[in-house]
Amino acid sequence: MSAAGEAAATPQSVTLTLNGMEVKAKPGQTILEVARSVGVDIPTLCHDPRLEPYGACRMCLVEVEGARGPMAACGTQVREGMVVHTHTEKIVKLRRFVLELLLTNHPLDCPVCEAAGDCRLQDYAYEYLVDMVPWGWRPPVVGEPGDHPNIAHYGARCILCGRCVRICREVMSIGCWGYLNRGYESEVDTPYRLPLTEVGCVSCGQCVSTCPVGAITTQRSLLGARAWQTSKVVSTCGYCADGCRLVLHSYRDKVVKVSADVEKGLNEGNLCVKGRFGLGYVHAEDRLTRPLLRNSQGELVPTTWEDALTTLGERVKTLTSTAGGSAVAALCGTHVTNEAGYLVQKLLRTVLGSSNVTAEDEGEWSAYEALWAHGLGVVSDGVRRGDVRTAQALLLVGADITESDPVLALEVIRAIRTGRPVIVIDPMKTTVASKAPLHLAVRAGQEAAALRAMLRHVVEAGLKDEGFLAAETADPEAFLASLADLDVAGEAAQAGVDLEAVKRAATMFAQAASALVILGPGVLQGSRAKEVAGAALDLALVTGNAGRPGTGVYFLRSGANSRGLFDMGVRPGRLPQGSLKDEGVLEAAETGWGACLRDLPEGFGLADLIPAIERGTLKALYVVGADPVLAMPDYERTLAALKRLELLVVQDAFLTDTAELAHVVLPAAVTAEDEGTFTNAEGLVQRLRAAVPAPGEAKQDWAIVCRLAQVLGADWVYSQPEDVLREISEVAPAYRGLSYRELETEGQEVAAERSGSKLRFFPLGRMSAAGAADFPETDDDHPLLLVTGPVFIHHGTGERSRRAPGLSKLLAEPSLEINRADASAWGLVQGDRVRVTARDGAALEVAVTLSGRLPAGMVFLGRFSSQVPVARLLKGDVAAAAVRLEKV
């Protein structure tokens, strides 16, 4: 570094003078970035760090000594020795001129403008003392805001900075907004001024988040709260597993708005429709505010906490004294916090003596657990957002990522826009597939065949990373030999995709400097899960894409704390300390908790829950924030089983379909009322903070579990969730050292094994191909394959999203998506109602939507509805069924 020549070739930093201060900056930084980093505020209107510099507003003009004229700080990179002045008299005069021009035709309806108090134009007009416009004020009339439920558009207030236009194109890759006309007539609107819902809008509100004035805002806030009247707390989104950082704005005990800080958190200020407009359920009218007990007439009636808990305690004691602790099981929803999840499993294990504790998404983890020992843990555990961002190629398998993880999806969209190879393996033409350079539209359930074809082609075409295989994997010869008789053409044919396309995909993946696989929950169910995940692992290994930045396997997870609950031991076979198979783990847990765990009967998981009730071995179920009636396949069977339980306890914010069957219902707080932590899909632990108090007598999950444990005789002394995390950080190795203080300003990653020199990987090699074995076969009577999956406006089975007006007004009930060709064959048009009948005669009625994304022979129905529960048609582990349609 001392050689001057070397430093000049690759300068590590440049030095400039900013308002007389000497400042060091990174090469490539703009004047604006450098100024903001040292606390010098250069005003901007058209700038958003999420967007490319644009230079339209001229507010950021600064003087650069030696330059021909004022320079736009947002688009000018710093140079060695640059001398910059940001607030000279000349510059201030220019800025005032810009503001005068803008105000000439800007309505001054600030008293009724949604943006008042959060408006750059208002701020700068005051700061720069623009109290008159020299040419006369000619404001246009402020019209109506349009009828989108969340997004209001007041074109008259637009200053033409283009941020909405650019964020919708550059970040979202949609393009709802555009300029119309020219010069003084210029305006921003949708094409032909169509309603947003008709121009491909996904209602993410990114335009709202970037508009510097009141031209695109949220619809009038609840209670008419002003920016300066609301309290703001930073929290974490409770819907999907992306872990977006939120700012919750509250006023008089109501959450009135959600925003996100630009450049903070994994989402860097971006949010999806659920994050930004999906919190209305917090104040839904049907929130549970008192405990409910089923009386002798079979009705659920409100009662006191004391009564509910005493009754519950007695019944549990009676039941376990005869049937034993293992007659009790607990089931958590995926948005239960680490703290509450930890306490639930501790309650079951140390107080009741049961290992029957699991979470709703257990099935999606089977492959991960099964292949952990092969090195999948190493390949996937340390994969972070930054790896998705920097990977030079992405392969998405069964991941409808814009629907399931809309904010993580922005990284994939960015990859496509910057010309990186993105390959999609999916029967559906998903949004990403329609934009990606390569889509392998496999037959339903045949993702693994496509992966095997790619794998074999990599070997055949000499694209494998021999150095990596030799150094990092055990017995590469045996691995490669096991692939020797795989037939690329045969596998491609089985997958139903073009051979050349498969070869191209394999080449793109193998030749990229770094490549990453994203696996969706849809392919991680049933018997093919291991096959798909195993082939993905082998593909990553054979191309050397493991254990370094921009590589690996990213598992999408279905809920905000899916990962955390796994880590907390909310599984029959796991403890917070690790896998139960590990003797050391058991010992550590016994010492830590002062309890004997080795004599606990082996727990059963999600798949055995219903059979265990039917066998009579499971008599009581404690459901925390889950709705198994809608979430489990085989609706009628689930209903019948739950009704057989001697004791069903449901702890939730709403009277869910499951809660309606319960003997005891405990009213719970929602995430916006709770303190605790979530661990997102990639292992980032982040804080939740309460923005508002829980309504009525509703309590936080962790507090309810504590009360219950005390009633059952435990001497637990947690006075706040922080105490629980302290204990977690002591017992769970990956969470060691975490504390609320550590998490105060930003999330912390859980420890993950990513380096080391010993052999780490054990490729599976050729597996017996289960393929679509447990996929239902279609036939003449039931010729269509019904599948389900994520729908971006809702989450999971919709208990929360259905109750959020900002979401339900966009999509209240699901419709059956059907390919156009199938629709015309069945004589159906958009909006027709059909009866969908499965092979066992189970049926439901639903409206039809014609869709361009489904292949012929496949229909899709979202699972977020309680009115038309798709679970009624599904059997077994795979979310698919053979169905027929009748017009009604």
C-alpha to C-alpha distance for 583 and 591, rounded to whole angstroms: 12
Considering the complex, state which of residue 173 and residue 337 has its C-beta at the smaller distance from another protein.
Answer: 173
Considering the complex, state which of residue 177 and residue 622 has its C-beta at the smaller distance from another protein.
Answer: 177
Considering the complex, state which of residue 182 and residue 741 has its C-beta at the smaller distance from another protein.
Answer: 182
Least distance CB 276 / another protein (angstroms): 21
Considering the complex, state which of residue 177 and residue 566 has its C-beta at the smaller distance from another protein.
Answer: 177
Q: Which residues contact 615 (CB under 8 A, 6 or more apart)?
A: none
Considering the complex, state which of residue 216 and residue 881 has its C-beta at the smaller distance from another protein.
Answer: 216
Asked if residues 24 and 37 have their Cβ atoms less than 8 Å apart, the reply is: no
User: 842 - beta bridge partners?
Assistant: none
Measured over all CA atoms, what is the biggest interatomic distance in the chain, rounded to whole angstroms? 90
Least distance CB 148 / another protein (angstroms): 16
Helix 447-460 vs helix 528-542: crossing angle, to nearest 10: 20
Asked if residues 281 and 596 have their Cβ atoms less than 8 Å apart, the reply is: no
Considering the complex, state which of residue 171 and residue 874 has its C-beta at the smaller distance from another protein.
Answer: 171
Residues near another protein (CB under 8 A) are 165, 169, 174-182, 190-192, 199
C-alpha to C-alpha distance for 765 and 645, rounded to whole angstroms: 45
Considering the complex, state which of residue 174 and residue 262 has its C-beta at the smaller distance from another protein.
Answer: 174
Amino acid identity for residue 115 in this structure: A
Considering the complex, state which of residue 169 and residue 232 has its C-beta at the smaller distance from another protein.
Answer: 169
Least distance CB 672 / another protein (angstroms): 35
Question: How far out from the chain centre does Cα 246 lie?
Answer: 13
Amino acid identity for residue 665 in this structure: V
Least distance CB 175 / another protein (angstroms): 2
Least distance CB 191 / another protein (angstroms): 4
Considering the complex, state which of residue 27 and residue 191 has its C-beta at the smaller distance from another protein.
Answer: 191
C-alpha to C-alpha distance for 308 and 328, rounded to whole angstroms: 18
Asked if residues 133 and 240 have their Cβ atoms less than 8 Å apart, the reply is: no
Q: Tell me, what DSSP letter sits at residue 213?
A: S
Nearest by Cα to 763 from 530, 517, 476, 531? 476
C-alpha to C-alpha distance for 698 and 287, rounded to whole angstroms: 9
Least distance CB 829 / another protein (angstroms): 20
Q: Which residues contact 831 (CB under 8 A, 6 or more apart)?
A: 847, 848
Q: DSSP string of 550-566?
A: T-EEEEP-SSTTHHHHH
Least distance CB 163 / another protein (angstroms): 14
Least distance CB 179 / another protein (angstroms): 4
Considering the complex, state which of residue 135 and residue 179 has its C-beta at the smaller distance from another protein.
Answer: 179
Secondary structure class of 643 (helix, strand, coil): helix
Considering the complex, state which of residue 139 and residue 178 has its C-beta at the smaller distance from another protein.
Answer: 178
Alpha helix stretches (DSSP H) within 657-786: 701-711, 721-731
Asked if residues 700 and 673 have their Cβ atoms less than 8 Å apart, the reply is: yes
Least distance CB 574 / another protein (angstroms): 47
Least distance CB 511 / another protein (angstroms): 23
Considering the complex, state which of residue 177 and residue 716 has its C-beta at the smaller distance from another protein.
Answer: 177
Considering the complex, state which of residue 174 and residue 323 has its C-beta at the smaller distance from another protein.
Answer: 174
Q: Tell me, what DSSP letter sits at residue 118?
A: S
Q: DSSP string of 654-678?
A: B--TTGGG-SEEEEB--GGG--EEE
C-alpha to C-alpha distance for 772 and 73, rounded to whole angstroms: 57
> 144: which 2 tokens?
């109506």
Helix 488-495 vs helix 447-460: crossing angle, to nearest 10: 160
Least distance CB 184 / another protein (angstroms): 13
Secondary structure class of 466 (helix, strand, coil): helix
Considering the complex, state which of residue 49 and residue 175 has its C-beta at the smaller distance from another protein.
Answer: 175
Least distance CB 162 / another protein (angstroms): 10
Question: How far out from the chain centre does Cα 437 lie?
Answer: 24
Dihedral sign of CA atoms 256, 262, 267, 271 in order: positive
Considering the complex, state which of residue 126 and residue 179 has its C-beta at the smaller distance from another protein.
Answer: 179
C-alpha to C-alpha distance for 35 and 21, rounded to whole angstroms: 11
Least distance CB 285 / another protein (angstroms): 38
Considering the complex, state which of residue 169 and residue 833 has its C-beta at the smaller distance from another protein.
Answer: 169
Asked if residues 623 and 650 have their Cβ atoms less than 8 Å apart, the reply is: yes
Least distance CB 370 / another protein (angstroms): 43
Least distance CB 170 / another protein (angstroms): 11
Nearest by Cα to 248 from 625, 667, 671? 671
Expressed in percent and rounded to 5, the helix, strand and coil fractions of the chain are 35, 20, 45
Work out the burial of residue 693: count CB atoms within 10 Å of its CB; fewer than 13 is exposed, 13-18 middle, 19 or more buried.
Answer: exposed
Q: Which residues contact 221 (CB under 8 A, 6 or more apart)?
A: 114, 249, 256, 257
Q: Which residues contact 340 (CB under 8 A, 6 or more apart)?
A: 332, 624, 676, 700, 701, 702, 705
Considering the complex, state which of residue 56 and residue 690 has its C-beta at the smaller distance from another protein.
Answer: 56
Q: Which residues contact 323 (CB under 8 A, 6 or more apart)?
A: 619
Least distance CB 51 / another protein (angstroms): 16
Query: How far lies 476's CA from each of 375, 465, 653, 756, in Å?
Result: 14, 11, 53, 19
Least distance CB 199 / another protein (angstroms): 7
